[in-house]
Amino acid sequence: MSGSAGSPQVPPYICGKCKQALVLGKVTALYLGSEFPVELWRCPGCGKVYVPESLATGKMLRVEQALEDK
């Protein structure tokens, strides 16, 4: 799964724990034994990743369904 936050380069959130603004970074999405690199906003401190609603209910859902049917 390729993709990115696709949003303006303004950090949408700050991390509640670390109080640091999120930065774009490479993370890994995993499902049913498959892995995909994806660029998402994450906390530079604790690494908490932000999954936007549009991604969760859009592309991510489609990939989940495709993997479930494999």
Partner 1 sequence: MDREQVRRWETQCIQEQPPACATGCPLHVDARQLVECVTRGDFKAGLAIIAGAVPLPLILAHICDHPCQAQCRRCEAGDAIEINALERACAGFGGTIASMRIPSPKSHKVLIAGGELSGVSAAILLAQKGYEVELFESGPTLLGSLRSLGETQLPKQAITADLDALSFLGVTVRCNTALPFPAGSAEPESLLRACDAVYFEGRVWPLPDTGSSLTLATLHAGIFAGSTLQQQSPIRAVYEGSVAAISVDRFLQGASLEAGRDNQGAYASRLYVNTKRLTAFPAVRTTEGTSYTKDEAQQEAKRCIPCQCLECVKVCEYLEEYGAYPKRYVRQIYNNECIVMGVRNGNRMVNSCSLCGLCTEVCPENFSMADVCLDARQSMVRKGKMPPSAHDFALRDMAFSQSDAFTLARHQPGFQSSQTAFLPGCQLSASSPQQVAACYEHLRTTMPGGVGLILQCCGAPARWAGDEEKFQAALSALDAAWSSMGRPRLITACSSCFKTLNEHLPHIPIEPLWPHLDPALLAKTPPEPASRTLAIHDPCSTRGVRQVEDSARALLGRLGIDVVELNEPGLTTCCGYGGLTLFVNPALADKTVTRRAQQSDVDFVTYCAMCRDRFAHQGKRAIHVLDLVFANVSSDPAARRDPGFSERRDNRARLKAQLLREVWGEEGNAVEPSIKLQISEDTRLLLEKRMILIEDVRRTIEYAESTGDKLESSTTGQSLASFRSGCVTYWVEYSRLGDELVVHDAYFHRMEVR
In whole angstroms, the minimum distance from the beta carbon of 39 to partner 1 comes to 11
**Is 5 near partner 1 (CB under 8 A)?**
no
Contact pattern from residue 12 through residue 31 relative to partner 1, giving x for each residue in contact according to CB under 8 A and a dash for the rest: xxxxxx----x----xxxxx
How does DSSP classify residue 5? Answer: -
**Is 44 near partner 1 (CB under 8 A)?**
no
Q: Residue 32: which residues within 8 A CB-CB, separation 6 or more?
A: 67, 68, 70
Residue 12 tokens read as 């949408």
Nearest CA among 69, 38, 68 for reference residue 55:
38
- Which parts of this chain interact with partner 1 (CB under 8 A)? 12-17, 22, 27-32, 38, 40, 48-51, 53, 55-57, 60-61, 63-66, 68-70
